Structure 1
């Protein structure tokens, strides 16, 4: 599962962890526009699989400016969107392949093609770009 939030304010990390546990969400990645380092540590200590955010220092000022989101350079095929949406749910290449009737190597090839189209090779960033540009839900 991928959770997208605008900001995680001080003290909200623990609340988010409790809410996700209540819902039975075990494999979660959080994408946030802004979050403090302490909150990110709280999320990871609470069992989240990962987090992507522009971090802030103790004063709440951004530690570094967030880069402008790259726009997709080409349309993704239906198969590429299917692969990407399953990756966004935290599935491995092997699991994605099993669900779509593909080999893990074919899934890896699809992800490489998607990476070239979206301009990044990082799985979390692929998902963030796809969500930001409404390519997947």
Structure 2
């Protein structure tokens, strides 16, 4: 009985470790690939222009301007990506990215999905990160 209990504890510990480090590795790779893709393709400038030209998006991003970051659940791109991977999953995030790029998904649909899976604090943290990225 002790051996079985020990085995279960070891397996549970390994499972947690794989999950924890697996999501960390996946989120790090996702951040790296998206950042490189946006920078190398010049898409970041297009995104900045889109935000500037859309009053609704601009207001959304501006909400992240004057926020006390010490109360946010995360403050870096890497931490945000980790939360998004946990809440959405890599496949769903890729589907959203493809939908936005192909024009089959509107910004309202993206916002609705995000608001359905993220808390208000997580949404605010994302606004802060987006604001920082767009105003580098």
Normalising TM by the smaller chain, what interval?
A: under 0.3
Between Structure 1 and Structure 2, which shows a larger proportion of strand residues? 1
Q: Which has the higher contact order (CA 8 A, sep 6+)?
A: 2
Relative to the length of structure 1, the TM-score reads 0.26
Between structures 1 and 2, the one with greater helix share: 2
Pick the structure with greater CA Rg. Answer: 2
